Amino acid sequence: MRLMGKRAIGLNDIRLRNKMLIVYFLSVFIPVVLTNVIFYNITTNNVKKQKMRDISLAIEQIRNDFMTQVNVAVGISAVIYNDALLIEYMDKNYDVPSDYVYNYQTYIISMLNKYSPVYEAIQRITLYSNNDTLIYGGQVDLVTARTREQPWYRLVRDSPLSAPIVLRTTSDYPGATGDMLSVVRKIGGSEGTEPWEKYMKIDLHPEAIKEMFHNVTLEGDLFLLQGNEIQYATNPGIDLAQTVDFAASPVSKDTIVIDEDFQDVPYLSDWRIVGRFKESAVLEEVRKSKYFVLYLAVPNVLLPTLLIIWFTRSLSARLVRILKHMKKVKNHSFETIALQDAQDEIGQLTAEFNRMTLQIKSLIHDVYLADIQKKELLIKRNQSQLHALQSQINPHFLFNSLETIRMRSLIKKEDETARIIHSMAKIFRKSLAWGKDWVTIRDELDLVACFLDIQKYRFGDKLDYRIDADESALGLMIPKMTLQPLVENASIHGIEKLKEGGLIRIAVSSTGEGLVCTVSDNGAGIPPAKLASILSELEQSEDIGESVGIKNVYYRLKLYYKDQVDFKVTSKEGEGTEFRIAVPGEVSG
């Protein structure tokens, strides 16, 4: 039995409408969507990078401005620190107050005041000393107990170096309010070598700091930090009158933080400027670009979609209509399709279908009856061939007569004669039971054994035979008298011509694909020319002619099994002949 494997689904197995959808998705929808997604991502990343770059530049500008202001104060402190005349005036013991007033008016005050008009960031420069001969007032103050309590004083006093220190201080002079950023520094040499304590404190103008942070328009909060302590913030909700820890302030997940430090500046190493920005505000431009991409993608998808639908309807609807009418033809309904003014291939196909349908409708009436008559003649011919085969082994005497002879032979103890007559009777009985066309392999081999038994009785030691059959094959069905004519052909045309040593082999086996039967002999064989003639007649002619047994077997197998039968004849002259039949196996019901 032939096994058919599953065929892989190819492009030709997909319906036209689905093909158009595949083309649409692969060629239009997916490329457009991917293009817009890629364009959106690139645009988003570019906008985001540009926005972050602008913010970073703005914060860097604030950092530079702040460092510039601090550097101005540090530069002034360096000038004061190295002013030997000023140090001399401040370390001098004034016996007469007028001497100090003179020095203060002629040098100290003019030197201190010359920076404020030039540098707007400088609010005030104050000198501190514990020299009790000085007249304190103006911009020279006495180091008092209150002064010693100030954090800046303790910090600059305990510093081993005379380097400038930047920190937030509290105003301690008339007219000043609130805190401010200051640069404090020692004046003169190392502690212990100077007769008096001397310090300078340069205050930066709070408004200059405020202006510096508010000149840049950023949608977020800016912080000036010393360590983690907030020194200035643009957020009005932060109270700078008290110490505020920057790390303790809450930060939402969608906050972008940008940090700029002053690691390259020793006196500002623990200072930094930090910006906090809501991601939603930063990416506002990104959202605008998203809508732009969306508005651009809609027509790119919509227009091709409408075109694809229009073309698909033009093709698919008409092809489906042709297919429906073709299915009607399969069910013997020959309806034509209403023609439309279409000149494309589908329109031509519709016209050809209508012409073909009308021709079929016309021819079917002319050919149908003739075809029925031809089939009836074919059936009658097959029946006549079957009866011709039957007539070869049906003598003109009755089975009852043979049975009577067999019984008389047994009475006379002629056992061999009785056995042969019994085999003959079995052949007649089976041949007379012509009502069924299919028998089991067991019954067919029983018929063959009876025939060979008679032939052996006839030829004696000149003939021997072997019958081999798989147990699994005995129950399979086969057309009646498939093997017997081939055995008879081997006996008459093969073995009869031998003087001795004739052998006929019958083998039946069951395979995974069906049934295989072979009938072989070691007889005279068939001449090559005659064998070629027999095989040619089997394929090209259905006339009985000569080789009646072989042709009847072949035609009957073709009648029952169609193209599933495999019938082979091989022969060598002087060596013998083999018939091989392979057919699908059918189990007896």
**Which tens digit of pLDDT belongs to each residue from 403-423?**
666 665 666 666 667 767 777
> Which whole-number Å values give the CA distances from 364 to 12, 333, 358, 359, 381, in the listed order?
31, 12, 10, 8, 25
Q: Report the percentage of the chain scoring pLDDT > 90.
A: 7
| Token digits of residue 442 | 């067991």
Interval 25-60: pLDDT, tens: 887 778 878 887 787 788 778 877 888 888 888 888
- Same domain, yes or no: 253 and 299: no
- Rounded to a whole number of angstroms, the CA Rg of the chain reads 60
- pLDDT value, residue 429: 67
- pLDDT higher at 439 or 395: 439
Query: What span, in angstroms and rounded, lies between the C-alpha atoms of 459 and 27?
Result: 83
Of residues 178 and 151, the one with the higher pLDDT is: 151
Type and span of the H or E element at 224: strand 220-226
CA distance 229 to 244: 6
- List the domain range (segments joined by +) for residue 230: 218-282
- pLDDT at position 519 is 95
Residues 484 and 501 in one domain: yes
- 340 lies in the same domain as 382: yes
Domain-embedded: residue 365: yes
The residues, ordered by sequence, that sit 6+ positions from 406 with a Cβ below 8 Å of its Cβ are 417, 418, 421, 422, 425
pLDDT at 2: 44
Are 308 and 377 within one domain?
A: no
Q: Which residues contact 337 (CB under 8 A, 6 or more apart)?
A: 321, 322, 325, 350, 353, 354
Sheet strand arrangement including 229-233? 229-233, 220-226, 271-278, 255-261
- For residues 360 and 466, membership in a common domain is answered with no
- Does residue 75 sit within a domain? no
- Of residues 334 and 143, more confidence is placed in 143
Mean pLDDT taken over the chain: 78
Distance from C-alpha of 425 to C-alpha of 445, rounded to nearest angstrom: 16
* More confident position, 177 or 266: 266
Structural domains in the chain (count): 4
Mean pLDDT of 428-446: 76
Judge if 494 and 378 occupy the same domain. no
Instruction: pLDDT band for 389, please (50, 70, 90 cuts).
Output: low
Helix extents (H) in 413-547: 415-432, 441-459, 484-489, 528-540
> The domain that contains 508 carries what CATH number?
3.30.565.10
How do residues 454-504 score in pLDDT, each as one tens digit? 888 877 778 899 999 999 889 899 998 889 889 988 888 888 888 788 899
Interval 441-446 mean pLDDT: 90
Q: Is residue 87 part of a domain?
A: no
What is the sign of the dihedral through the CA atoms of 6, 8, 13 and 18? Answer: positive
Rounded to whole angstroms, the Cα distance separating 521 from 452 reads 13
Whether the Cβ atoms of residue 419 and residue 407 lie closer than 8 Å to each other: no
Is 536 part of a structural domain of the chain?
Answer: yes
Lowest mean pLDDT among 114-118, 197-201, 234-238, 457-461: 114-118
Does residue 580 surpass a pLDDT of 90?
yes
Q: How confident is the model at residue 505 (pLDDT cuts 50, 70, 90)?
A: very high
* Helix/strand/coil for 263: coil
Q: Is residue 47 in a domain?
A: yes
Burial (CB count <10 Å: 0-12, 13-18, 19+), residue 353: middle
pLDDT tens for 153-191 read: 888 888 877 888 888 888 766 656 678 888 998 887 655
When pLDDT is averaged across residues 243-249 and rounded to a whole number, the result is 78
- CB within 8 Å of 203: residues ≥ 6 apart: 122, 123, 124, 125, 126, 169, 171, 176, 180, 181, 182
Sheet with 476-479, strands from edge to edge, namely: 438-440, 476-479, 586-587
563 within a domain of the structure (yes/no)? yes
502 found inside a domain: yes
Q: Which residue has the tokens 């990078």?
A: 49
Q: What is the pLDDT of residues 284-341, one digit of tens each?
A: 766 666 677 777 777 877 777 777 777 777 777 777 777 777 777 777 677 777 766 6
**CA distances (Å), origin 168, targets 204, 214, 439:** 10, 19, 118
Identify whether 72 is part of a domain: no
pTM for this model (two decimals): 0.48
Residues 466, 550, single domain; the answer is yes
Q: Of how many residues is the chain composed? A: 589
CB 269 within 8 A of CB 263: yes
pLDDT of residue 434: 52
Share of the chain above pLDDT 70, in %: 79
Are 363 and 488 contained in the same domain?
Answer: no
Beta bridge partners of 184: 165, 201
Bridge partners (DSSP) listed for residue 199: 128, 186
Kindly give, in sequence order, each residue whose CB lies less than 8 Å from that of residue 324, ignoring residues fewer than 6 positions away: none
Average pLDDT estimate for 103-108: 80
* Whole-number Å distance between alpha carbons of 393 and 160: 139
Asked whether residue 277 falls in the same domain as residue 293, the answer is no
Can you tell me the distance from the alpha carbon of 322 to that of 357, in angstroms, rounded to the nearest whole number?
12
SS3 state of residue 11? helix
18 with 40, same domain: the answer is yes
- Alpha helices by DSSP H, listed for 82-171, are 84-91, 97-103, 109-113, 145-149, 151-157
My answer on whether 311 and 338 are in the same domain is: no
Q: Are residues 449 and 366 part of one domain?
A: no
